[in-house]
Structure 1
Amino acid sequence: MASFWLLLWEFSLTIAVVISILVTIFLVTLPSAYSHFHPHEIKETDFQDKDKEDATQSGYAYFQAHKEKDRTLKAQASVQVVVLGDIGRSPRMQYHALSIASHGGKVDLIGYVDPSVDINPDVKAHRLINIIPIPVFPFGTKNRLLFLLLAPFKVAWQFQALYHALGYRTKACRWMLIQNPPSIPTLLVARIICFFRNTQLVVDWHNFGYSILALRLGPRHPLVRLSEWYEGFFARGATAHLAVTNAMCRVLKEKWSIDALPLHDRPAKHLRPLTIAQRIEFLKTRPELQGQPFDLERRSWRLIVSSTSWTPDEDFSILLDAVVQYAAERKQKRNLPRIWAVITGKGPLQSYYLAKVQQLVSEGKLDETIISTAWLTTDDYARLLGSADLGVSLHTSSSGVDLPMKVVDMFGTGLPVAGWSKFKAWPELVKEGENGRGFGSAEGLCQVLQDLFGSDDRELKRLGNGALREQERRWDDEWMPVAGKLFRLH
């Protein structure tokens, strides 16, 4: 028995020494803590000749107006904007970065950079924004068992990649703004770095990480429950919280005693209504319409657009079934126009649904209907929305209290919306019968399409006018009184 305790003591002592050495290395090698007396500096040499030609977009105009006698700009607000996901698919975090930079803050935008996904050109052009790419975990799977087996390795990979980017590849900042979800391991890494660097952490709640995990594993799975505890425990210590809806603010307060500030998504400046001539000019460039007997002047057809990530929380089969039902109704009701449906986005279920589309076409269930997919640049996506007749949102919300930003984008171009409305936060975004219509089934969506396209267009125009009113308040109008005030920007 004595030998057992001696062995246990030696083992414990060894572990303690190893931990002590690792902590010492950590403290010595981690860059120095943030000092309020040493703000980030922007110099004249940070701008190239082309930046000076487009002074507003690059931030050079702000630099010229606010530089000090030594020809440097002291950025009092420095922010690490963190998304453990693809930056190009995270428009809200890009808007955060642009708003901070346009008001004189220095930004390190940290996340995955997919070469096939365009980052907002304004973000890339602004010299007060530094994009820091982090490496993607090289293995992925749709298999549930393999997903569970790979999960620890993926988390370890993400931990070291994110830790290295936040602690060593970027300077210490006054603020860190992180997107949640994903929560694991983002919240833990952020808390560690913020603690040792005296950085103030702000969590921007887009949804709940555990509710998304529950879509894959089920709500009662032990990992889901562990994720829920982890999310609440590590988020509570943040300096401040932002949330996309009032409903989410209430849930955060009730669930984890977190006081969050509501910051609703609003359309960015590049999303604008188009004139009829601009619509026709853009649609003439689309390859899907080549050879089709569409009259672009008279619009004897209707264009619907849906942006999806092709994931389980956006069930594309609802739109597909609705369009099939609409095509069947059109054979009986000739007043119904043809439909061209464009689905934008990339994701894991895309190939599965495209195969279903081909099967339906071969069975003759999509006669005189075009369903096409597209991956567009930021500008072309804005033009597509501005050229459409109706936007469709299939977002079903894993938590019931988040909202799809794609609807905000649609409103930015004056496009009315039909969307899945069977969750709590939906009325915060779409006002039924004023700027859009809700549905709760494929049959419901089919009826909406018939109501809006089968009449004299009066209701469709009325919804369009409501969408135009929504686009009057832009992102910066919403952002400055909330986040701008938090970061002490002017």
Structure 2
Amino acid sequence: MARRGRACVVVLGDLGRSPRMQYHALSLARQMSFQVDIVAYGGSVPHEALLKHPSIKIHTMVQPKFLQILPRIFYPITLLLKAIIQFTMLLWYLCVKIPAPDVFLVQNPPSVPTLVSVKWASSLRRAAFVVDWHNFGYTLLALSLGRNNLLVSLYRWFEKRYGKMATGSLCVTKAMQHELDQNWGVRARVLYDQPPEFFRVASLEEKHSLFCRLKKDLCHPVGVHDIISGELEKQNPHETLFTAKIDDSIFLKPNRPALVVSSTSWTPDENFSILLEAAVMYDRRVAARLKGNDDSVEISEEQQHIYPKLLFVITGKGAEKEKYEEKMRRLNLKHVAFRTMWLAAEDYPLLLGSADLGVCLHTSSSGLDLPMKVVDMFGCGLPVCSVSYSCIHELVKDGKNGLLFSSSSELADQLLMLLKGFPERCDALMALKEGAMETGSSGRWASEWEDNAKPLFAEVVSQITD
């Protein structure tokens, strides 16, 4: 069979919230000169580089909305109906709507019905079938149903059976590679997430422009009037919370708050209560250290700047967002403020490149995957405080490019230690920033993909074209 020079990337989810699959599509087009069809759901806007590439075409499926309004009691029936509808829709797109490819690349999870649909389509169209293992689908389902649920066991059986049928496999960690090899009979190559070239430290001009664009988002607090609202009310048009412009000169304000960024899908495997509790502890400990036990003691200007005000900006969309926003509204904080927002794909790297510290609360349902958000932060030279779990050490080197914590109290201690003397005299934070810069510059997506994914795609394509 002659080579077609085509690939199909399958994402049974919001493509704009699947950065790794967007990077795969760009690499297949750029580094293998393939024509790439992407079959995915709509929602968030993908990165501009994807939308503008002449060799990439996005085919947007429509979500079956009526299933979202069924009562919780019908959850098992809803799952079955959803799987049947998605299976039929995927087969239609993969076997009829798009030209026949040399290779299908599918994101897992979700596993059902994705793996089944892509396996059938690859057989019918005589194409290779590659699975990119981000996590295990059955462990995500177990978060809501419990590990011993019959549906979870059935899901795992499908995931394992059809995962083994793939022509080739990629995965995100060595720990997952070992699990797939030993217990699933799947030989996978590790393709670590690496930041693409647009994740980098932002320039002063880019920071000022970004914060000017975000002024409206920062003006609207999650809760009542807070410290950030008060600061914004005093500003002139050429000033932001963090920067100021005089004539043609832009500079960082010496009394600016520390900007701490966290991104999330607002799912059960990220417990944001830890961050809220740590924020409360930071707020109380700073107040206590500034005033001591005697509220009548006047605080000097120098003492007020020992510990900075904190602005937590939390980006992302997800089911639990409103629940945590309601918790934020109930907090009565004097030194800390929260903002939640969703950024354009082009602005998110700029926010990371402008921040002072990142926080990651991802724990992984399987304990075998790594948070891509931390990879992006390192690409921008941003040090990270991350929840500790089994394989996070493959990414976060404790004390070098970030710190690991296991409780809200530990996180509060780390915030106090790292931000003391901010912005000029915070040596511990600067040391971690150097480590994050080193990690971020040690590898980029294009080179990682060239070394580990391209040989696999070349191999599986040659198998079906010989």
TM-score (norm 2): 0.85
Match of 1:330 in 2: 286
3-state SS of 2:330 partner:
helix
Question: Whole-Å Cα distance in 2 between the matches of residues 337 and 252 of structure 1?
Answer: 46
Is 2:436 the counterpart of 1:467?
yes
Q: Counterpart amino acid of 2:447?
A: D
Contact 1:339–1:369 under 8 Å retained in 2: yes
Question: Whole-Å Cα distance in 2 between the matches of residues 463 and 207 of structure 1?
Answer: 29
Match of 2:104 in 1: 176
Match of 1:417 in 2: 384
Q: Counterpart amino acid of 1:179?
A: Q
Contact 1:283–1:387 under 8 Å retained in 2: no
Give the 5 Å matches for 1:111-126.
Answer: 111-114=40-43, 117-126=44-53
Is 2:113 the counterpart of 1:188?
no
Contact 2:70–2:78 under 8 Å retained in 1: no
**Which of 396, 400, 403 matches 1:430?**
396
Match of 1:479 in 2: 449
Q: CA deviation at 1:278?
A: 3.4
Question: Whole-Å Cα distance in 2 between the matches of residues 307 and 142 of structure 1?
Answer: 30
Question: Whole-Å Cα distance in 2 between the matches of residues 436 and 196 of structure 1?
Answer: 48
Match of 2:328 in 1: 357
Contact 2:361–2:386 under 8 Å retained in 1: yes
Give the 5 Å matches for 1:273-284.
Answer: 273-284=201-212
Match of 1:400 in 2: 367
Question: Whole-Å Cα distance in 1 between the matches of residues 77 and 180 of structure 2?
Answer: 31
The 1:143/1:446 distance shift into structure 2, 3 A limit, reads: farther
Contact 1:141–1:147 under 8 Å retained in 2: no
**Greater RCO, 1 or 2 (C-alpha within 8 Å, sep 6+):** 2
Residues 191-241 of structure 1: CA distance to partner in whole angstroms, max 9, x if unpaired? 111112211100000000000000010011111111111111111011110
3-state SS of 1:471 partner:
helix
Match of 1:291 in 2: 233
Is 2:20 the counterpart of 1:96?
no
The 1:141/1:402 distance shift into structure 2, 3 A limit, reads: farther
Match of 2:297 in 1: none
Residues 354-395 of structure 1: CA distance to partner in whole angstroms, max 9, x if unpaired? 1111122xxx2x223210011111121111111111111110
Residues 59-106 of structure 1: CA distance to partner in whole angstroms, max 9, x if unpaired? xxxxxxxxxxxxxxxx3xx21111101100000000000011012111
Contact 2:400–2:431 under 8 Å retained in 1: yes
Match of 2:296 in 1: none
Is 2:200 the counterpart of 1:272?
yes
Contact 2:141–2:152 under 8 Å retained in 1: yes
Identity %: 40
Q: CA deviation at 1:292?
A: 6.2
Q: Counterpart amino acid of 1:349?
A: E
Question: Whole-Å Cα distance in 2 between the matches of residues 229 and 295 of structure 1?
Answer: 52
Match of 1:16 in 2: none
Give the 5 Å matches for 1:120-199.
Answer: 120-138=47-65, 139-140=67-68, 144-199=72-127
**Which of 10, 21, 30 matches 1:82?**
10
3-state SS of 1:226 partner:
helix
**Which of 259, 268, 277 matches 1:321?**
277
3-state SS of 2:233 partner:
coil
Question: Whole-Å Cα distance in 2 between the matches of residues 299 and 311 of structure 1?
Answer: 35
Question: Whole-Å Cα distance in 2 between the matches of residues 406 and 351 of structure 1?
Answer: 21
Question: Whole-Å Cα distance in 2 between the matches of residues 401 and 299 of structure 1?
Answer: 41
Contact 2:48–2:346 under 8 Å retained in 1: no
Question: Whole-Å Cα distance in 2 between the matches of residues 175 and 245 of structure 1?
Answer: 23
Question: Whole-Å Cα distance in 2 between the matches of residues 239 and 385 of structure 1?
Answer: 37
Contact 1:390–1:415 under 8 Å retained in 2: yes
Residues 314-372 of structure 1: CA distance to partner in whole angstroms, max 9, x if unpaired? 11111111111111111012322110000101111111111111122xxx2x2232100
Contact 1:176–1:202 under 8 Å retained in 2: yes
3-state SS of 1:318 partner:
helix
Question: Whole-Å Cα distance in 1 between the matches of residues 242 and 42 of structure 2?
Answer: 40
Residues 261-302 of structure 1: CA distance to partner in whole angstroms, max 9, x if unpaired? 000000011111123453344324332153268564214421
Q: Counterpart amino acid of 1:159?
A: F
Contact 1:393–1:407 under 8 Å retained in 2: yes
Is 2:409 the counterpart of 1:453?
no
Contact 1:395–1:420 under 8 Å retained in 2: yes
Question: Whole-Å Cα distance in 1 between the matches of residues 457 and 148 of structure 2?
Answer: 39
Q: CA deviation at 1:143?
A: 5.9
**Which runs of no fewer than 5 residues in structure 2 stay unpaired?**
219-227, 236-240, 244-252, 291-305, 460-466
Question: Whole-Å Cα distance in 2 between the matches of residues 316 and 209 of structure 1?
Answer: 22
Higher gyration radius (CA): 1
Match of 1:387 in 2: 354
Q: CA deviation at 1:488?
A: 2.6
3-state SS of 1:433 partner:
coil
3-state SS of 2:130 partner:
strand
Q: How many residues are matched?
A: 410
**Which of 301, 314, 319 matches 1:348?**
319
TM-score (norm 1): 0.81
Match of 1:64 in 2: none
Residues 129-160 of structure 1: CA distance to partner in whole angstroms, max 9, x if unpaired? 11011111212269642322311111111111
Q: Counterpart amino acid of 1:343?
A: I
Contact 2:312–2:339 under 8 Å retained in 1: yes
Match of 1:105 in 2: 34
Contact 1:325–1:446 under 8 Å retained in 2: yes
Is 2:347 the counterpart of 1:377?
no
**Which of 237, 260, 269 matches 2:165?**
237
Question: Whole-Å Cα distance in 2 between the matches of residues 154 and 391 of structure 1?
Answer: 36
Question: Whole-Å Cα distance in 2 between the matches of residues 316 and 292 of structure 1?
Answer: 31
Question: Whole-Å Cα distance in 1 between the matches of residues 118 and 452 of structure 2?
Answer: 22
The 1:478/1:299 distance shift into structure 2, 3 A limit, reads: farther
**Which runs of no fewer than 5 residues in structure 1 stay unpaired?**
1-34, 40-74
Is 2:410 the counterpart of 1:444?
yes
